[in-house]
Amino acid sequence: MARTAGPMIVVMQATLLVLAGGDSRRMGRTKAWLEVGETTLLRWVAERLAPAFTEVMVSFAEPEQVEQLVPYRVVFDRKPSAGPLAGLEAGLTAARNEVVFAVACDMPYVTPELAEMAVAASSGCDAAIPRLDGRPEPACAAYRKSALPAITRALDADRLRAAELAENLDVAWLEGLDTDLFRSLNTPDDYERFRRELGRGDNCGG
């Protein structure tokens, strides 16, 4: 049977972890449930990347954050109010695969190609983390199970800055990437800009 030619999707033996436990103070409402077309921001980000992964998970800080059912495995933080590190710990602990690509639910510009690059680069080390102008982007990075002990130690010591975690990991740094891929929706203005771009069909491809 003839098949329509289209972009070839590489399915990786890896887990996609969408981090949805943030407190969204600047946005003024929970980012995960922001409307994006006929869906939510959380599901939009997950569905954009999911075809490249054999497993998809979503981490929330606590059950009260789950305002709607999501068609993915859901995990919750062990340590309350501990930020993205707690989401990483929950995801790595529960993941069925050795490698987890974590992405914050407010980063809708991340592409499957970026995820594939990070997963591939994590081979042989604890993590592959993008670095933009010397600044790590730990909420959009690939982590292996070997990173879990360092994450748990940091959480138990209340060292909650995800960017500092890299000091205790063997990291492959991803340099020279397009900074637009890492734009976050932090404010209502960011959200409206993203919706306008989506409506025009620009800047969100991949």
* Tens of pLDDT, residues 75-111: 999 998 899 999 999 999 999 999 999 999 999 999 9
- Assess whether pLDDT exceeds 90 at residue 11: no
Per cent of the chain over pLDDT 70 is 93
Question: What integer is the mean pLDDT of 58-68?
Answer: 93
Spatial separation of the C-alpha atoms in residues 126 and 151, rounded to whole Å: 11
Averaged pLDDT for residues 177-200:
93
Distance CA 157, CA 163 (A): 15
Mean pLDDT, residues 163-175:
92
Q: Which of 3-17, 105-119, 125-139 has the lowest mean pLDDT?
A: 3-17
Tokens of 39: 């869906």
What does pLDDT average to over the chain? 91
- On the CB side of 13, CA atoms within 13 Å amount to 3
Residue 55 φ/ψ region, left for φ over 0, alpha for ψ in the -120 to 50 degree band, beta for the rest: beta
Residues 6+ apart with CB under 8 A from 170: 125, 126, 127
Q: What is the pLDDT of residues 125-137, one digit of tens each?
A: 999 999 999 999 9
Average pLDDT over residues 5-26: 81
pTM assigned to the model: 0.92
- Kind and range of the H or E run holding 43: helix 41-49
Q: Are 47 and 7 in contact (CB under 8 A)?
A: no
Say yes or no to pLDDT of 204 above 70: no
